[in-house]
């Protein structure tokens, strides 16, 4: 991986399969949104001993250190940043040198809910902030074009790096590529590659 590579952006997610376990997918796109690399893991399922020994840290260990790190390390290209749609994947950040950001998805809520949360003050857009969907307090949120991103409070410098380097793709819907990853993983699964 070198910085001489053409400008690209990484999208990292982990899919949860009821029977198989966790499957990681990592897609690198050029600035026109075309795919350059795609990597996916075989399913990972923690055993009982791991569940006991890792306790509450198991998820961040699996999503970040184990799956995320393995996928990012495997790629040839060095993207400007890595986006994820799952907060737990941010735990990969200490293990990689790339800035990592969570793409905060807006979820439409009922008007009454919006009024209750104060989101109704922004016409047409509601941000769901109930516990299940609100970005955690240890995250720092910021806007990039039409997207809303968040970085770990422990890596606050990533915000400036991303804002500076991703201006070219600010108009992209950064949540869209995760749909492609899901379809690709399903396709690979259908053909028994995953």
Partner 1 sequence: MDKPSVESWQPDFSLSTTTVALPSLVQPALETPWPADVLRSQPSVYSLPLGSNLAAAVSLKIAPPKLKIESYRFGMPSAWRAPAQATPAEVAASPCPPKTRTRIEPPSDVVKLEDRLFYLLQPSLEALIGDCSLSFPAHPFGYQFEGIAFLYPRYAAVLADEMGLGKTMQAITAVRLLLHAGELSTVLLVCPKPLVTNWQREFAHWAAEVPTVAIEGDRTRRRWQWEQDDVPVKIANYELLQRDRKVIAELGLHFDLVVLDEAQRIKNRSSATSQCVRSIPRRRGWALTGTPVENSPRDLVGIFEFLSPGYLHDEMKPRKMGKAAADFICRRTKDKVLTELPPKMFRDAEVELTSSQRASYELAEKEGVVRLTEMGDEATIQHVFELVLRLKQICNFDPASGESSKFERLAADINEVAASGRKALVFSQWVATLETLAARLKRARPLLYHGKIPPAKRDGILDEFRNDPKRHVMLLSYGAGGTGLNLQCSEYVFLYDRWWNPAVEDQAINRAHRIGAAGPVTVTRFLALETIEQRIDQILREKREIFDTIFTDAEPTQHTGLTQKEVFGLFQLRCPNGPIDVAA
Tell me which residues touch partner 1 (CB under 8 A).
6, 24, 27, 29-30, 32-42, 44, 47, 49-50, 53, 65-67, 70-71, 74-76, 171-173, 176-177, 180, 183-184, 187-188, 191, 193-194
Q: Give the Cα separation of 132 and 1 in Å (integer).
A: 36
As a dihedral over the C-alpha atoms of residue 35, residue 41, residue 46, residue 51, rounded to 10 degrees, the angle is -40
Sorted by sequence, the CB contacts under 8 Å of residue 168 that are 6+ apart come out as: 7, 31
Q: How far is the CB of 156 from partner 1 (least distance, A)?
A: 28
Closest to partner 1 by CB, 10 vs 151, is 10
- Name, in order, each residue with C-beta under 8 angstroms of 152's C-beta and a sequence gap of 6 or more: 90, 93, 100, 138, 139, 140, 158
Report the nearest approach of partner 1 to the CB of residue 111 (Å).
Answer: 21
The β-bridge partners of 148 are: 143
CB of 22 to partner 1, least distance (A): 10
**53 vs 107, which CB is nearer to partner 1?**
53
In whole angstroms, how close is the CB of 17 to partner 1 at the nearest point? Answer: 15
């Amino acid at each position: 991986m070198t910085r001489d590579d053409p400008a690209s952006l990484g999208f990292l997610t982990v899919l949860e399969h009821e029977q198989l376990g966790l499957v990681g997918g990592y897609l690198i796109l050029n600035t026109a949104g075309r795919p350059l690399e795609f990597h996916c893991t075989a399913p990972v399922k923690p055993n009982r001993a791991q569940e006991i020994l890792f306790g509450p840290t198991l998820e961040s260990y699996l999503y970040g250190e184990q799956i995320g790190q393995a996928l990012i390390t495997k790629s040839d290209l060095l993207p400007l940043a890595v986006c994820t749609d799952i907060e737990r994947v941010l735990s990969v950040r200490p293990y990689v040198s790339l800035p990592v950001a969570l793409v905060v998805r807006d979820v439409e809520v009922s008007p009454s809910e919006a009024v209750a949360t104060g989101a109704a003050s922004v016409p047409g857009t509601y941000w769901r902030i109930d516990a299940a969907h609100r970005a955690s307090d240890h995250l720092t949120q910021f806007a990039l074009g039409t997207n809303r991103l968040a970085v770990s409070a422990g890596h606050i410098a990533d915000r400036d790096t991303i804002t500076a380097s991703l201006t070219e793709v600010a108009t992209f819907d950064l949540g869209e590529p995760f749909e492609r990853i899901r379809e690709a993983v399903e396709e690979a699964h259908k053909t028994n590659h995953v």
